[in-house]
Copies of this chain bind each other. A is one copy, B any other.
Amino acid sequence: MVSASRLTPIREALERYLRRLNSILRPPEAEEVSVLESLGRVLAEDVVAPADLPPFDRAVMDGYAVRAEDTFGARPDRPVRLKLVGRCLAGQEERPAIGAGECAEVATGAMMPEGADAVVRAEHAKRLGDTVEIYTPVPPGSSVDKAGRDVRAGDVVLRRGRLLRVPDVALLLALGIQAVRVFKRPRVGVLSVGDELVDPLGPEKPGRVRDVDRPMVMLALRELGAEPVDLGIAPDDVSAIRETIAEGLETCDALITTGGISVGPADLVAGAIQGLEGAEVVVHRVAMRPGRPVALCLVRGRPVICLPGPPAACYLAFLMFARPVLLRLMGVEPGLVPVWPTARAVLARRVPSRVGITDLVRARLTLRPDGRLVAEPVALRGAGMLSTLTGASGVVIVPEELDVVEEGSEVEVLLFSCPGLAEREERSVVSHEEAG
């Protein structure tokens, strides 16, 4: 049996590797992209607001622009009467001025007239020829978006290292910014190892196994925002593997291998890496099940991450180790995006575990009517079984110090993805609120 004492605990493994990477990695190169193409990219520079937002005082209601003090004391039975001196439409360039006792008609979105500091809504006033009767007092600033209220010129609105989301792009557009400098997507080579493997889209061959790890990892890379590079399938041969890795590193920023690692003597990939000049195996074998054979390496200053071959183990090891490393390579500011996208859930069924190993228990997640996430274990074993992944939405992370987690315990769950976060227990939208 394999001794657990030689395995590195998962947090220690990742921390050691990231620390080592931080000491040698330089910031990625930057490139300029159109703001419309920047969603999901990572800012390579702080973005400073070039102007106030909104750029001018703006009416946010239809009504009458006034000097607020003129409306004080107004009552429905004793309205204040103001002289109508102009009209401000949305999009209009000219800007009238109002003085004491005067007002101007304004439309939502229009620039406020000079001298006005509030809007009386149309339904609280009445126009009588050149005069407007005001029935309610308004405080200064009422129904007005002041210039710079949202953002002030010179403010840093988004920081370097930010993974841009939809509202971020909207803010850039609102500020009139048309292009931003973002980090280039890291090029990540993906290599599968195994004599038995054939391309999954090629013809079937008896005795052969379709290589799903490589396309799976490539899709996961693309989803994350990296650029996958297909390095194909290498045979179970140390020199062939070594050569492919060396070649891959000439054009890629990082490499991911799948298969060809093992806790037994068949540890071909680690052997291949150790034989390369400037290679360093920072972590070799982790206290995690499935996924134990993981190796986290550096070759000529570039990350080489070796994932196990069985597809379920490969995917989970990708989420646990490759994803956090890739976020760093993408230039994402640490802390801005969780290293492991986890949520808290209630465990639906008792799970035995093994002390000294972090068990990743595949689980179906459902949202209970009370809003709690429930994790129902579907599989612990079966490192190769893809159906256990498609039947799950995440894995319960059972800490290495536990030999069992009882039903009803609160546990940490690593989520596979956001859209599949959880199934609702009830099919109705109205779920609990109507039911309760």
Which residues of A approach B to under 8 Å, CB–CB?
A: 11-12, 14-15, 18, 35-36, 39, 53-56, 58, 60-62, 89-95, 107-111, 121-123, 145, 149-151, 157-158, 163, 165-171, 173-174, 176, 178, 194-198, 200-201, 204-210, 212-213, 215-216, 219-220, 222-223, 236, 262, 264-266, 309-312, 315, 324, 334-339, 341-344, 367, 371-373, 382, 384-390, 399, 412, 415-424, 426-430, 433-434
Contact = CB atoms under 8 A, between A and B. Distances in A.
Given A170-B212, A371-B342, A386-B170, A416 B264 contact: no
Nearest to A399: B433
Contacts of A210: 173-174, 176
Q: How many copies of this chain does one complex carry? A: 2
Contacts of A194: 90-91, 109
B419 A174 contact: no
A174 B219 contact: no
B337 A173 contact: no
Contact of A212 (B173, B196, B343): B173
Given A174-B386, A420-B163, A264 B90 contact: no
Instruction: In the A-B complex, list the 9 residue pairs whose CB atoms are closest, starting with the nearest.
Output: A418-B418, A90-B196, A167-B389, A91-B196, A109-B196, A170-B216, A173-B200, A171-B386, A91-B195
Given A194-B109, A196-B90, A344-B372, A150 B384 contact: yes
A338 B166 contact: no
25 contacts: A15-B429, A15-B434, A18-B429, A39-B222, A58-B209, A89-B195, A92-B207, A109-B197, A109-B309, A111-B207, A150-B382, A151-B386, A151-B387, A165-B419, A167-B315, A169-B216, A170-B311, A173-B200, A174-B386, A324-B429, A338-B423, A339-B429, A341-B419, A344-B372, A418-B418
Contacts of A207: 56, 91-95, 110-111
A149 B89 CA distance: 70
B108 A266 contact: yes
A149 B382 contact: yes
A158 B420 CA distance: 14
Given A150-B387, A200-B173, A386-B171, A417 B166 contact: yes
A15 B421 contact: no
A184 to B, nearest CB: 18
Contacts of A399: 433
A418 B415 contact: yes
Given A11-B434, A91-B208, 11 more contacts: A56-B207, A93-B206, A107-B236, A108-B262, A108-B309, A166-B223, A167-B312, A167-B386, A170-B311, A337-B421, A344-B373
A171 B220 CA distance: 14
Contacts of A312: 167
Contact of A412 (B167, B216, B371, B434): B371
Given A15-B428, A174-B212, A194-B109, A150 B385 contact: yes
Contact of A90 (B35, B62, B195, B434): B195
Contacts of A384: 54, 60, 145, 150
A320 to B, nearest CB: 11
A416 B167 contact: yes
Contacts of A170: 212-213, 215-216, 219, 311, 315, 386, 389
Contacts of A107: 195, 236, 266
B429 A11 contact: yes
B334 A427 contact: yes
Nearest to A171: B386
B419 A54 contact: no
Nearest to A386: B171
Q: Which of A92, A178, A418 has the most CB of B within 10 A?
A: A418
Given A385-B149, A386-B150, A390-B158, A430 B166 contact: no
